[in-house]
Structure 1
Amino acid sequence: MGARSRAAAQLLQGQGFAEVYNLAGGIKAWDGLVAAGPESWGLELAEPGQGPVAVLAAAYGLEQGLALFYRALAGRGGGVELTALYNKLAGIEVLHQERLKAMYDALPRPQQQEAPLGQAAPVRMEGGYTWQEFLERQGEALAGPEAALMLAMGIETQALDLYLRLAQRARQEQSRQALLDIAGEEQAHLQALGRMLDQVQGG
């Protein structure tokens, strides 16, 4: 086991993640979901020195973009069951936006003026992609609920990885903690999607 993997596992445990595993054989032994792209991918979304207001505003825009993505998929048809699933996934992202708004509203009002929430049109969706370019790549997502949930889990895996990388380089403790809190939300969302996938595969 590499020193970097061990250090990463210890970091996550220190941030309250209940189940952290240091995999024997490293990433080559893992056959589950992995984040794609270089380590620097997506980091331009939040500069290291930014405060929590800017961080939360950026995360809010990502959630908003992902909700638009799921609604676009729902609008492409594929059957009643698949359309309902995409609308449900979009609704979950809206709930995430509401949680981020609550975190944002708890900050001092003068700070909020630095980065108003939700005023700019979302350029990217959660995970760092633009939803239009990702939509063009994901025609297979219309194959059925199982493929749709696998797609959603892939996006959330990418998002979790992005928030943890942003937190690692954040210079302000408040920003770092906000990013770790958001990462915790993504971990919970991944677990919920996994349960939904188990139901689809078992049912």
Structure 2
Amino acid sequence: MPQTADTHEPDAATTPANVTTAEAEAFMRKRSLDDYTLLDVRQTWEYDEAHLPGARLVPLTELADRLGEVPRDKPVLTYCRSGGRSSAAAGLLAGQGYTALNILGGITAWQGAAAEGGLDQGLSYLPAAASMADILALAYAMEANLGDFYARCASGEDEEAKAVLQRLARFEEGHKAMVLRLARSHAPDVDEAALLARAREITAVEGGYGPQEASARLCAVKATRRDVLETAMAFEAQALDLYLRATSRAADLEAAAVLKELAVEEKKHMAVVGRMLDRTPS
């Protein structure tokens, strides 16, 4: 009987387990972001074109020399374009005592959200020296700007698309409130006016997209309900990916903790949009 992600997880083995993309997605959805490592073993240019949110890039050709970058105390899910290189990577890891899960079909078979851009994508908004206050101001601004973007786009001819855009705009109001609660959990005297003032000069929407990039993704086309939701999923995936990449280079533990909390929230937002997509015909 073939091993699956859940049956294989408890102990490292000398051979890796193979999991389908659906099994891998379910595995990650049920776990916190700290409970596994998602490893992209393709080349840098492939990662730049598209990658799974939060994936760590270590090309297969470099993996043997960079094992120290891959935590040993948690399962590692490997993927590539179609499953060949990731199978070799999983075998190498398993042979070194890791619990390794190879995602069959790779990113080609992946049906979930993907992020794009290189390792520095969007990080101009989140420099390594960014303080907790800087990070929270950026998060607040990006949620606010995305809500405004959805509201502006809710003027097309498709009534279902218009309705979902209006709903997404309301979601962003809730997401702004989440950032405010997070800010107050770290600094109880923070108020919304202070966050807004600090965020006023930031024009980016979630994930670090500029306003023109965001508009090109949705407002310039006749969007259906499904188009809108897929675009929303892309924004949330990009935000998750941005926060996780920023976490790894944060200047201090407080900033890293806030970035991780924001990433957890983006994972929840993706799940909400995913459920909406599941109820939308292709």
Question: Same fold per TM (> 0.5)?
Answer: yes
**2:158 corresponds to:** 79
Structure having the higher Rg: 2
From 170, 173, 184, the equivalent of 2:253 is 173
Amino acid of the residue matched to residue 200 of structure 1? T
- Unaligned 5+ segments in structure 1 are 2-8
CA distance in 2, matches of 1:161, 1:98: 21
**1:117 corresponds to:** 195
Q: TM-score, normalised to structure 2's length?
A: 0.59
Residues 1:100 and 2:179 are matched in the alignment: yes
1:43-62 to 2 correspondences below 5 Å:
43-62=123-142
**1:4 corresponds to:** none
CA distance in 2, matches of 1:163, 1:181: 9
CA distance in 1, matches of 2:281, 2:76: 25
Cα deviation for residue 178 of structure 1 reads 0.8
Deviations 1:128-183 (A, max 9, x none): 11223321343576331111111111111111100101111112111111111111
Residues 1:29 and 2:106 are matched in the alignment: yes
Per the alignment, do residues 137 and 190 of structure 1 end up closer, same or farther by CA in structure 2, a change over 3 Å counting?
closer
Per the alignment, do residues 67 and 127 of structure 1 end up closer, same or farther by CA in structure 2, a change over 3 Å counting?
same
**1:6 corresponds to:** none
Aligned residues of 2:161 and 2:224 also touching (Cα < 8 A): yes
Q: TM-score, normalised to structure 1's length?
A: 0.80
Identical-pair percentage: 30
From 150, 171, 176, the equivalent of 2:230 is 150
Per the alignment, do residues 16 and 87 of structure 1 end up closer, same or farther by CA in structure 2, a change over 3 Å counting?
farther
Amino acid of the residue matched to residue 99 of structure 1? M
- Unaligned 5+ segments in structure 2 are 1-15, 17-27, 39-74, 87-102
Aligned residues of 1:78 and 1:144 also touching (Cα < 8 A): no
Aligned residues of 1:126 and 1:159 also touching (Cα < 8 A): yes
Please state which structure has a larger fraction of its residues in strand.
2
In the TM superposition, structure 1's runs of 4+ consecutive aligned residues that sit over 6 Å from their partners are none
Amino acid of the residue matched to residue 15 of structure 1? D
Q: Secondary structure at the match of 1:22?
A: strand
CA distance in 2, matches of 1:88, 1:72: 13
Per the alignment, do residues 35 and 86 of structure 1 end up closer, same or farther by CA in structure 2, a change over 3 Å counting?
same
- Measured on the aligned residues, the alpha-carbon RMSD in Å equals 2.9
From 150, 156, 159, the equivalent of 2:239 is 159
Q: Which deviates more, 46-55 or 20-29?
A: 20-29
Q: Which deviates more, 33-42 or 134-143?
A: 134-143
CA distance in 2, matches of 1:58, 1:147: 26
